[in-house]
Amino acid sequence: MDALLVINAGSSSLKFQAFAISGPSNLTCLIRGQVDGIGVRPRLRASLATTGEMTDQRYEPGEIADVPSAMAVARNWLESQGLTFVAVGHRVVHGGPEFDRPALIDHAVVDRLERYVPLAPLHQPNNLAPIKALLKNRPDLPQVACFDTAFHRHHGALADHFALPQAYYDEGVRRYGFHGLSYEYVADQLARSAPDVADARVIVAHLGSGASMCALKHGHSIESTLGFTALDGLPMGTRCGQLDPGIVLYLLNQKHMAAAEIETLLYHGSGLKGLSGQSNDVRELEASPNEAAQFALEYFVYRIGLHAGMLAAALDGLDAFVFTAGIGENSATLRFRIGARLNWLGVTIDAAANLAGLPVISTPASRVKVYVIPTNEELMIARHTLALLSARASPPLQQRRISG
């Protein structure tokens, strides 16, 4: 069966989904899975979208030592299931100032995307690794890069600038925002299920190991908590979030730390892990009696409340609030605590609906509607990939006959 493959590569895991193409915009997920524990305890897990688990395979560390080898294992296994891939779509975190929409990948595009590795050192190298592997091994296979920054690229100048000389903005030092594929998917879901809300003033909280918030007006991003890099805004699993830049100068000049040491501290040793001294996993922190663990969670909730106020100011009010991503979708406790912080904005959480994880968790009397919407970045990537390649193909890609 011809299929479209979507890859979302991280430092220690590679997520994938395979989609059947059955119409101009009709994509059906066939298989979803991931290779995790790369280089340590590699494990391939995959399931049919319709019936559940179909494989769970473990490997020696040397068998899947890096992201390209994980890509090869995943692709070989998928092809053993009778799938033939006509294209691959990739999540790429940073598109810089030049990529404001999905792009067909070639070596020149990869070279341009390499420039943004310093702006997203946790993500960009791993996003590019499977792309480069496929360019080498399957140069005939069309690949499309879909960018987390693209959804935010039409912010107004006030939201887009730092208070630095214009020359820095012109060379690309500006507020980009991230998690755009997730926000785009949520905006689309709101337009389908709650069009009156989708056209209003909405804050979306993408709360996971990486966390940010986005202000939507008429379904478009107008402001975000993340900026030039993925370090800004909310505290995250291991990243610091908003930080006085003078602290970096202090670490350089007074603590005599090298730039690489500071980068490691801010990206890997801060956030919930740094505050708790224990873990970056919210589930572990919620279960812990440790005072520092509870402080880390309270700090997380507090900063979300502060940034919600900022985004509500950018929107001139608030009509709806959406929780999404791993923590937002799964932690009823944190949703309730965040809702209590937002009571002054008109948020009232229905405790029973929240505990049950219903799509709407606000009370009928709440001035602000509160939703839980599971994100699906992979589907968004598949849609963009299909649209771009169909526009270029002759005959159009979506008109190809799919046979099983």
The catalytically annotated residue of 56, 111, 148, 316 is 148
For residues 82 and 90, the answer to whether their CB atoms sit within 8 Å is no
Contact present, 124 and 117 (Cβ < 8 Å): yes
Q: How far is the CA of 247 from the CAs of 252, 295, 316, in angstroms?
A: 9, 22, 32
User: Is 148 among the residues known to form the active site?
Assistant: yes
Note whether 369 and 354 are within 8 A (CB): no
Structural contact between residues 84 and 402, judged by C-beta atoms closer than 8 angstroms: no
Nearest to 144 by CA among 136, 156, 155, 134: 134
Q: Nearest-5° angle of CA 197, CA 198, CA 199? A: 90
Q: Is 233 helix (H, G, I), strand (E, B) or coil?
A: coil
Report how far Cα 80 is from the mean position of its chain's Cα atoms: 29
How far apart CA 333 and CA 55 sit, in angstroms, is: 33
Catalytic (active-site) positions: 148
